[in-house]
Amino acid sequence: MKKNLKGVSFSILTMIFGLMLAVQFQSIQEPQVRDTRDMWQLREALKTEQMMQSELLLEIRKYEELIDTYENDESQSAEKTLKETVEELKKEAGLTEVTGEGITITISPLFEESLTQTETNSVAPDLLKRLLNELNSYGAESISIDGRRVVNTTVIRDINGKTKIDGYSLHSFPLEIKVIGEDAEKLFSRLNGSTVMDTFAVDNLRLSISEPKGNMTIPPYDDVIRVQNMKPFEKGENS
């Protein structure tokens, strides 16, 4: 609609300029005709023409300001849309703090070391990855492990016998995992009904799942996200 209004405004400006040129052209083309009007009549005619010219100039200025307003509105609208898009992308990438309804999962040893004769001091990376896959399939939107945000580029692996997330060692038990989802109740019930607890129990680990609660906060990802096979777009390059 703005483009149509700008087109109409431009057409009106063109008509106004055409009218002014026509008036000037006529006055140039007919100088030979003797004007028989007296001084007062000439002054009144001049005054009328000056008023018409002033009105034309005012109209021109009004439409120029109108066009500028449309252009500014379009620029501000584009800027606002761009900012909203960037914020949404940052949210999806895990770069912003998230608050919402969610659950807390606590991982701790199932039996004491004195009973099993085996020391349980960490969670195997494969177990954590399986749990994350389960959570994502149940509608998890934001997850943190031991206070560290999980994003698409997060790496969980064993380094020298220690499970690390993005290079950071996980703290000793109990290990806390926070999960925010669109439907925390559904997330809670589906996780309780899954076999993932049995899988953890094989490694002498217990999963304790809290009831859903609101106003849970998950911190943003605070490390550098490395993106491969990409370069800055330069003006003039084909997309």
pTM above 0.85, yes or no: no
* 3-class SS letters over the chain: CHHHHHHHHHHHHHHHHHHHHHHHHHHHHCCCCCCCCCHHHHHHHHHHHHHHHHHHHHHHHHHHHHHHHHHHHHHHHHHHHHHHHHHHHHHHCCCCCEEEEEEEEEEEECCCHHHHCCCCCCCCHHHHHHHHHHHHHCCEEEEEECCEEECCCCCEEEECCEEEECCEECCCCCEEEEEEECCHHHHHHHHHCCCHHHHHHHCCEEEEECCCEEEEEECCCCCCCCCCCCCCCCCCCCC
The rounded mean pLDDT for the chain is: 78
Summarised one tens digit per residue, pLDDT across range 56-89 is: 667 767 777 777 777 777 667 766 777 777 788 8
Ordered mean pLDDT values, 10 residues apiece, the chain (239 residues)? 51 56 46 55 68 70 74 72 78 90 95 66 91 94 95 90 91 92 94 93 93 95 66 54
Over residues 42-53, the pLDDT tens digits come to 667 667 766 776
